[in-house]
Amino acid sequence: IDIPFAKTVDWLVERRVLSKGSYQKALRTVHAKIAAALAEERPDCPGIAEVLPPGIEQEKVSYASCCSVLELLKAGGLLAEKSFLGSYTNPHAARWADIVKRYEAGSIFLVDMAQGLVHNCTYELPAIKKDMGRAQKELHELERKQAEYNRLADGGRQRFQEMCDRRHMAPCGHDEIATQLRLTIVQLKPVYERVGRLCQAAAAVEACAFYRRFVLFCLDQARAAEPPPTEEAARPKGGKGKKDAA
């Protein structure tokens, strides 16, 4: 049977699964009982903190949560003791057992589940869908950036390998670069020795002497090309004034 989720409660009332005149009042009573139970101290039982975390509101506690609490109390042995009237002697057990019993009386728990279904379909699912769309966009953007960073990283590793090969360095990590560079210093010794031999060769000495003679020749030519000083330039300063005075 296809039932619009927004009319689930009406469908239950029409099928007389719920009493039209009393289910709302009974549900408010159950919610009040849950609020009172949450105001009390939590049972000292493993797993209760996960089902009823501190600060949880009554609207967040459903019939399934109450059943889980009752099962945890049973596993913790808090449902073992009863009075001669059949009620639980442990106050926590009595409190949550009464809540579950009131939920199940008149199938009130179906209203709670139907209202939760309507709330989830109307608000929670659209919000989750919106968050999924936003997360999908962010994921695509992150994947694009990751591909770009991987490309840059591959290029950097390739350039680093080329530089290592150029310096005859073994592939190394970031922390070993300084050590590997110091080890390559020994490669400079034969280079310096070859440069020293070339500088001491007869051809280099002759080239230096030729360059020295060339520089001296150029200087002599430059001095010879300078014009001789004129009479006006050779006259001492102040000479014109003395002649006029005479």
**Per-residue model confidence as pLDDT tens digits over 196-228:** 888 888 888 899 999 999 999 999 888 888 777
In DSSP terms, 88 is beta-bridged to 82
Mean pLDDT confidence for 22-27: 83
According to the model, what pLDDT value does residue 59 have? Answer: 83
Mean pLDDT confidence for 34-51: 85
**Per-residue model confidence as pLDDT tens digits over 156-183:** 888 888 888 887 777 777 778 888 788 7
Residue 244 tokens, joined:
């006029």
What lies within 8 Å, CB to CB, of 187 at 6+ separation is 167, 168
Q: pTM value?
A: 0.52
The rounded Cα 60 to chain-centroid distance in angstroms is 31
Q: Is the pLDDT of residue 246 over 50?
A: no
Q: Is the pLDDT of residue 242 over 70?
A: no
Written as one string, the DSSP assignment of the chain is: ----GGGHHHHHHHTTSS-TTTHHHHHHHHHHHHHHHHHSPPPS-TTHHHHS-TT--GGG--HHHHHHHHHHHHHTTTTS-B-TTS-BSSHHHHHHHHHHHHHHGGGHHHHHHHHHHHHIIIIIHHHHHHHHHHHHHHHHHHHHHHHHHHHHHHHHHHHHHHHHHHTTPPP--GGGHHHHHHHGGGGHHHHHHHHHHHHHSHHHHHHHHHHHHHHHHHHHHHHHTSPPPPHHHHSPTTHHHHHHH-
What lies within 8 Å, CB to CB, of 35 at 6+ separation is 58
Q: Is the pLDDT of residue 130 over 90?
A: yes
Rounded distance between C-alpha atoms, residue 6 and residue 114, angstroms: 8
